[in-house]
C-alpha cells in the first residue's frame, strides 16, 4: 500500500513539473525586440524572439510563449505590459494556466516564421538549441480577450 501511495505521489509530482515547464519559457536568457508596428490601429506588433529547445518544434513553442509573456507581463520597447504578472497569476492563475496549456495564445499570433536556423547553445550540458523567429502578436485582440474574461480591467491593471 505504501508503494502505491509513493508511486502515485511521484507520478503527480512529475506531471506538475512537466506542467510548469509548458507554461513558462525555458530560462536561457534571450531577448524580445520589436521589429515593427504592423498595424497601429489594431495594435499588431512584429517581434524578433529567440526560442530554445531540443528541436525546432520545441524552440518555436518556446518563442511563441516568450512573445506572449513579454507582451502580457514585461512590455516591449515603447509598449507597456498588459498585466502585472504576480497580481494576475494570484487572482487568475487557473484561467492563465488554461490559456497557456490549451495553447489559446496561438489565436493571437497571426504569423510565426523562422528568422534563421537552429543552432547549438554553447556551454550548456544539455543539448539545447536556439532559433530566432519573427512573430506577429495581435496585442489589441489579446487585450480585448483579457478584458472580456475579466483578467484585465478596462483602465489600468
Cα–Cα distance, 130 to 66 (Å, whole number): 13
In tens, the pLDDT along 51-97 reads 998 899 999 999 999 999 999 998 888 889 999 888 888 899 899 99
Tell me, what DSSP letter sits at residue 70?
I
Angle at 138 between CA 135 and CA 141, to 5 degrees: 160
Phi and psi, residue 39, nearest 5°: -140, 110
pLDDT, position 18: 43
Please give the distance of CA 2 from its chain centroid, rounded to a whole number: 39
Q: What is the pTM of this model?
A: 0.78
pLDDT of residue 78: 86
Residues of the chain with pLDDT under 70: 1-30, 124-125, 154-157
Amino acid at each position: 500500500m505504501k508503494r502505491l501511495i509513493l508511486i502515485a505521489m511521484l507520478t503527480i509530482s512529475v506531471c506538475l513539473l512537466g506542467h510548469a515547464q509548458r507554461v513558462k519559457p525555458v530560462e536561457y536568457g534571450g531577448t524580445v525586440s520589436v521589429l515593427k508596428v504592423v498595424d497601429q490601429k489594431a495594435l499588431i506588433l512584429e517581434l524578433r524572439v529567440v526560442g530554445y529547445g531540443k528541436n525546432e518544434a520545441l524552440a518555436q513553442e518556446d518563442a511563441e510563449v516568450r512573445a506572449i509573456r513579454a507582451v502580457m507581463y514585461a512590455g516591449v520597447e515603447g509598449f507597456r505590459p498588459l498585466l502585472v504578472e504576480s497580481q494576475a497569476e494570484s487572482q487568475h492563475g487557473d484561467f492563465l494556466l488554461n490559456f497557456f496549456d490549451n495553447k489559446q495564445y496561438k489565436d493571437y499570433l497571426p504569423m510565426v516564421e523562422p528568422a534563421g536556423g537552429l543552432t547549438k547553445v554553447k556551454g550548456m550540458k544539455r543539448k539545447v538549441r536556439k532559433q530566432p523567429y519573427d512573430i506577429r502578436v495581435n496585442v489589441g485582440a489579446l487585450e480585448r480577450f483579457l478584458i472580456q474574461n475579466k483578467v484585465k480591467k478596462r483602465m489600468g491593471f
